[in-house]
Amino acid sequence: MTGAARIPLNDYGVLGEPPAPGEWTPTLTVSVVIPAYRAERTLPLTLASLARQTYPAHLMEVVVVDDGERPMEPPAGSPAVSSSGPLPERLRVVRPRDGAWGRASACAAGAEAAEGEVILYLDADLVLFPEHVEAQMRWHHLADYLVVLGHLRFVPGLDEVPASEVLAAVEAGAVPKLFAEEDATPQWTERRWDQTDDLRAAGFSAFSVMVGATASLPARLLRAAGGLDASLVLGEDTELGYRLAQAGAVFVPDRRSRCWHLGRSTVMRREPDVKRHNWPHLAERVPSFRWLRRHPHRTYLVPYVEVVVEVGDASFEEVRATVDAVLGGRLPDVRVTVVGPWGRLGGGRRDPLGDPALDLRLVLACYQGEPRVRFREAVPDDCFPVPFRFHCPPGWVPARGTIGSVVKHADRQRLGIVSLALDEREDGRVVHARLERTAAMSRARHCAGPEDDLGDLVHEMYGTVWDAGDKWGFLPAALAVSTAPPVPGRVWTGASGEAGAPGEAGAARALRRPRHQGRSGARPLRRTARLLRRRLRALVRPT
């Protein structure tokens, strides 16, 4: 595994073609985890097909998670489960923790017991083609942050095809001939594969086709994403896919990793009921599903944007102006993190009006009752699983639509970072706001070497851009008091030669771009912009 492969967005094509099955030497270990609930008829067929895989048996273990109300009864002579056919060489059966139930809990128990470097989740009603495991595993040898999705087709269940016939095909190596491909029903995800060049062009939405029936990922990546959410009994695979995306994962469908699904899925049989059940749960946890968050005022378990305001030496009035503007914006599902030395605010006797820490105390008092505001001593390393973090300096006021417009721009242009130049200080420092995409930052951290700059890596894999803050509706707090903030203007698409130039040179170019005319407050803002342009030109003028 390289771990340093730099994949742009979800375009894993930069890795090249994986080796053909049978023409390479695997080294990674894999744990196949199978959650099983009332699967006594189909599980033996799944296990038999696993016993006939081309992936080396000494590198593969199978962990069956018995999720029934009572433990399965193994027959005499069998160490695990009842089966009239072959069993994998390394097979274990585990139980979820007491009181835990459901597929998510079973998968979590299986991953906890697994010893492999890669976890491959399988449903207990699949019959695998012999190359199924190997086809997925060859990708994991190319990069260590891939989620590989298998290819399945729905075929008649055991009420139409006898189990003995399926087992005979497995033992004869004739699984591909068991059913006619053209008569089988494709999974709904296959249509998305076809539309997006096998997800290479899916961009940020690739995670939405994550289906747990057959999917593999590095155990380390699963742990980094927090594993499956055991509080979910349906839709847990989609929610896990979202968090894997925020952890920097790339999603790879493999059409050679084939299998038959015996019978129709629950979604196929009861799609309206499944959606009715899943959508409220996913609305709380997957901010990217914007169609599920149409209420104009409410908040959710996982916000869409975390806004970070570092107090520094700013006054109470400056901090309040910024935080109030964010909370009053059109984007309701935001969370504000105010960073300051809160630990030094003691409770002893003090001069209430002459307290050196008075501004800090006022900020704390101002938002004690606001659930969308939290206080931290330092900026957290990341805001996972929130998809966006917006750094906003205190004393600068965004318009009501600013944050939502910047996020939309980042999505349209598929950017990892958007920096908005606001001011340039006497010491040469450019004051700026900055939108960071969590998925981009996570992948950059994963791929970074000792000498790599995270911003450069994000620029390489996602793209970054500098623009002028006033065009997006930013005003200094003092100016915002007397001048209504302008509505964020039409987004700048930029030429390919300019888009994403990081650093202060990029900020200078952003401030040289034309401003919108005719907006309320545009004239004083243009004077500010001209001053900034002169200062930044002096800053970047060659000596």
Q: How many angstroms separate the Cα of 530 from the Cα of each of 20, 97, 399, 470?
A: 60, 65, 21, 12
Predicted confidence at residue 399, as pLDDT, reads 95
Mean pLDDT in the chain? 87
Please report which confidence band the pLDDT of residue 498 belongs to, taking 50, 70 and 90 as the band edges: very low
**Chain centroid offset of residue 45 CA:** 34
Inform me whether the pLDDT recorded for 244 exceeds 60.
yes
Inform me whether the pLDDT recorded for 472 exceeds 70.
yes
Predicted confidence at residue 338, as pLDDT, reads 98
Inform me whether the pLDDT recorded for 517 exceeds 80.
no
User: Are the C-beta atoms of residues 7 and 143 closer than 8 Å to each other?
Assistant: yes
User: Are the C-beta atoms of residues 336 and 309 closer than 8 Å to each other?
Assistant: yes
Q: pLDDT of 304-333, one tens digit each?
A: 999 999 999 999 999 999 999 999 999 989
- The mean per-residue pLDDT over the stretch 16-35 comes to 96
Inform me whether the pLDDT recorded for 197 exceeds 50.
yes
Q: How many angstroms separate the Cα of 113 from the Cα of each of 61, 90, 503?
A: 11, 13, 47
Q: How many angstroms separate the Cα of 241 from the Cα of each of 206, 225, 228, 385, 438?
A: 9, 9, 9, 11, 14
Predicted confidence at residue 70, as pLDDT, reads 67
Q: pLDDT of 340-364, one tens digit each?
A: 999 999 888 889 999 999 999 999 9
Q: 481-494: buried (b, 16+ CB within 10 Å) or exposed (e) per residue? A: eebebbebbebbeb
Predicted confidence at residue 77, as pLDDT, reads 40
Predicted confidence at residue 500, as pLDDT, reads 43
Predicted confidence at residue 102, as pLDDT, reads 84
Give me 532's structure tokens: 């900034």
Predicted confidence at residue 106, as pLDDT, reads 92
Q: To the nearest whole percent, how much of the chain has pLDDT over 70?
A: 85
Question: Which has the minimum average pLDDT: 453-462, 496-505, 533-542?
Answer: 496-505
CA distance 257 to 238: 20
- The mean per-residue pLDDT over the stretch 1-25 comes to 87
Please report which confidence band the pLDDT of residue 429 belongs to, taking 50, 70 and 90 as the band edges: confident
Inform me whether the pLDDT recorded for 484 exceeds 90.
no
Helix axes 236-246, 103-113, angle to 10 degrees: 50
Please report which confidence band the pLDDT of residue 540 belongs to, taking 50, 70 and 90 as the band edges: very low
CA distance 438 to 442: 6
Give me 133's structure tokens: 């495991």
Predicted confidence at residue 49, as pLDDT, reads 97
Inform me whether the pLDDT recorded for 271 exceeds 70.
yes
- The mean per-residue pLDDT over the stretch 110-139 comes to 97
- The mean per-residue pLDDT over the stretch 123-128 comes to 96
User: Are the C-beta atoms of residues 113 and 92 closer than 8 Å to each other?
Assistant: yes
Give me 191's structure tokens: 């249509």
Predicted confidence at residue 486, as pLDDT, reads 52
Q: How many angstroms separate the Cα of 210 from the Cα of each of 216, 249, 259, 414?
A: 10, 12, 16, 21
Q: Residues 6 or more apart from 19 whose CB is under 8 A from it?
A: 138
Among 378, 382, 390, 391, smallest CA distance to 439 is for 382
Please report which confidence band the pLDDT of residue 534 belongs to, taking 50, 70 and 90 as the band edges: low
Predicted confidence at residue 490, as pLDDT, reads 46
Q: How many angstroms separate the Cα of 88 from the Cα of each of 51, 111, 378?
A: 4, 18, 50
Inform me whether the pLDDT recorded for 235 exceeds 80.
yes
Predicted confidence at residue 377, as pLDDT, reads 95
Q: pLDDT of 38-97, one tens digit each?
A: 889 999 999 999 999 999 999 999 999 998 766 666 543 444 455 568 999 999 999 888
Q: pLDDT of 359-388, one tens digit each?
A: 999 999 999 999 999 999 999 889 999 999
Q: Residues 6 or more apart from 298 whose CB is under 8 A from it?
A: 332, 333
H or E segment to which residue 363 belongs: helix 358-366
pTM of the complete model: 0.87
- Which pairs from 78-81 meet CB under 8 Å and 24+ separation? 81/43, 81/44, 81/47
Predicted confidence at residue 367, as pLDDT, reads 97
Where are the extended beta strands (E) located within 263-350? 305-310, 334-339
- The mean per-residue pLDDT over the stretch 94-117 comes to 90
DSSP string, 193-259: HHHTTTTTT-GGGGGGG--TTEEEEEHHHHHHTT---TT-SSSHHHHHHHHHHHTT-EEEEEEEEEE
Predicted confidence at residue 463, as pLDDT, reads 95
Q: How many angstroms separate the Cα of 433 from the Cα of each of 159, 221, 225, 242?
A: 62, 31, 28, 26
Predicted confidence at residue 67, as pLDDT, reads 85
**Residue that has been written with the tokens 């504000």 in this structure:** 336
Predicted confidence at residue 348, as pLDDT, reads 86
